[in-house]
Structure 1
Amino acid sequence: MEHLDIIESQTIYILREAFNKIDKLAILWSLGKDSNALLWMVRKAFFGHVPFPVVHIDTGKKFPEMYKFRERYANDWQLDLKVGACPPVEEMDPTLPPAARSAARKTAGLKAMIDREGFAGLLVGIRRDEEGTRAKERVFSPRGEQNTWNFRDQPPEFWDQFKTDFGPGTHLRVHPILHWTEIDIWRYSKRENIPIVDLYFSHNGRRYRSLGDQDITFPVASAAATIDEVIDELQHTKVAERSGRAMDHESEDAFERLRADGYM
């Protein structure tokens, strides 16, 4: 089997295992390349259907292109879309740096959505190679009552053997593409012809490697205007994927604090 077939098969196995084991499941949809690829594989895993709600935690600060993308494909793919609002930044932890404090709004919005809908588990499109704190994650990651994450106490996972029988009240974050890389996502998106927000491609010599809120996400210098050019660029670049994220340039522990509190 080709590499993409192998990792796709692993992801589909995880998706079906999560659907089988978790009573009330949903998937987070950030509208970025990773969550689009994950949502695409959910549709493949369940024969063109998404059998659980699709959650978008909306800060109100996304790019217009992202909102247009959401409305089009929520309709085209007949998604049960649930949009959650976020509280104002003034209600967030004042000890966080500015960009991390802004990003913390998504955590608060997500917690409110979980409380309202009673989701026992969430599928999330994060990857280990994306950021150092995310490299500590497990595929089936148990969370505390307030959705807090203890990265020092995670179950072992060997040879695709996952612990799924946690105690009552445990909230699970499931990460089906944890084993993928950025270039895997792009190669898979090309092979499958997955729709992608156009901001990922170069305009006037700059493009976005990672998409977030307009005020804390910035483009990087790049001439890659097609998916083939993006793939070629990734084979040579030394620019980090999240170099355009303001919060990644703040205090070293800011992202880990956000993740421990329930950030995606």
Structure 2
Amino acid sequence: MDHLTKLENKSIHILREAYANFKDLGMLWSIGKDSTVLLHLARKTFFGHVPFPLIHIDTHYKIPEMIAYRDNYAKQWKLDMIYGENTEALKSRMTFPNGNCSRLECCRLLKAEALKSTLNATGTRYRLNHEIGEYEIEKNPRPFTGVIVGVRSDEEGSRSKERYFSPRDHKNDWHIGDQPPEFWNQYKTDFAPGTHVRIHPLLDWTELDLWEYIQRENIPMVSLYFDKGEGKRYRSLGCWTCTQPVESTARTVEEIVEELRSGKFSNIAERSGRAQDKEDGGGLEELRKDGYM
């Protein structure tokens, strides 16, 4: 069994454990490479069907191509697609692009707070109606007790402190020192009532693992990851106001794999193009304690 197949099998095992143990389960889909690989794994795990909703947090500042990609594949693959937002912050223009708060505060409001209100069903949620091909306000939304996330431990410092099954309190706050140990393939899935659990099937994957798997499985990716003749491409995706491309001439998955194997980015953080990381001193631990993905 090769390295990628071992990673795939472990991720599939964790997905099945999550589905077996959490009643109200959802999966975050940010449209990036990690969560799109996770979506592919979920479809493979359940034989082409995804038996839980996909959740996207729409800041309304995502690169337009990302939203078009989301809706295209949600319709094509018949996904149960939900998106949430921080309506109050958007209406009051309490955002960084409007000049009314810092990048980190903008992330807290449009991502962390929006995520928490979407997961606990206190905020407005929109669900794709496949019959008309449009999103409608979800009626009688239920809180999610577990959510599957495409977090990788090598992507950013605070993510390395996660568990495969990582509990949050009833407010979705993360207490890093109060996490269960995970030895070998033994995972804690029995938590006290009111506990919200984040599940991380990709925790052991690396950036190179992802792209080699994308190559092997022929997974469609949003074209922002590829150079379009300008000598630049995105390595990590987010809001257009805070995300910058990297210098790269890779136009295909194969070229990205070769670029990563060469060590070109060995001394450059994967999220180096994310301005909010720099504002936070290179880490996102405080934001993630408060619910950030």
TM-score (normalised: structure 2): 0.86
Equivalent residue runs for 1:1-264 within 5 Å: 1-87=1-87, 88=89, 98-104=102-108, 105-116=110-121, 117-203=142-228, 204-235=230-261, 236-237=263-264, 238-252=267-281, 255-264=284-293
Deviations 1:151-204 (A, max 9, x none): 111110111110111111111000110010001010001111111010001130
Offset of 1:98 from its aligned partner? 2.1
User: What are the ranges of 5 or more consecutive residues in structure 2 without an aligned counterpart?
Assistant: 96-100, 122-141
The answer to whether the Cα contact below 8 Å between 1:100 and 1:254 also exists between their aligned partners in 2 is: no
SS of aligned partner of 2:84? strand
Question: What is the CA–CA distance in structure 1 between the aligned matches of 2:154 and 2:120, rounded to whole Å?
Answer: 30
**AA aligned opposite 1:159:** W
The alignment-based identity, stated in percent, is 52
Note if contact 2:94-2:106 (Cα within 8 Å) is conserved in structure 1.
no
d(CA) in 2 for partners of 1:18 and 1:86?
28
Q: Secondary structure at the match of 1:100?
A: helix
Counterpart residue identity of residue 76, structure 1 = Q
- How far apart in 2 are the matches of 1:233 and 1:114? 37
Q: Check conservation: 1:86, 1:108, Cα contact below 8 A.
A: yes
- How far did 1:239 drift? 2.2
Aligned equivalents of 1:139, 1:251: Cα separation in 2: 25
* Distance (whole Å) between structure 1 residues aligned to residue 172 and residue 180 of structure 2: 16
| 3-state secondary structure, aligned to 2:241 | helix
Q: CA contact under 8 A between 2:104 and 2:280: conserved in structure 1?
A: no
AA aligned opposite 2:5: D
In structure 1, the gaps of 5 or more residues are: none
> In the comparison of the two structures, how many residue pairs are matched?
260
Q: 1:135 to 1:254 in 2, by over 3 A?
A: closer
SS at 1:82 equivalent: strand
CA RMSD of aligned residues (A): 1.4
1:261 Cα deviation after fit: 0.4
* In structure 2, C-alpha distance between the alignment counterparts of 1:143 and 1:77, rounded to whole Å: 31
What per-residue deviation string (whole Å, max 9, x for no partner) do you get for residues 213-243 of structure 1?
0001000111111111111111212322101
Residue 183 of structure 2 aligns to a residue in which SS? Answer: coil
TM-superposed deviation, 1:76: 1.0
Structure with the bigger percentage of helix: 1
SS in 2 for 1:263: coil
Q: Output the CA distance in 2 between the equivalents of 1:254 and 1:98.
A: 16
Supply the distance in 2 between the matched residues of 1:146 and 1:91 (Cα, whole angstroms). Answer: 22
| TM-score, normalising length: structure 1 | 0.95
The amino acid across from 2:190 in the alignment is: D
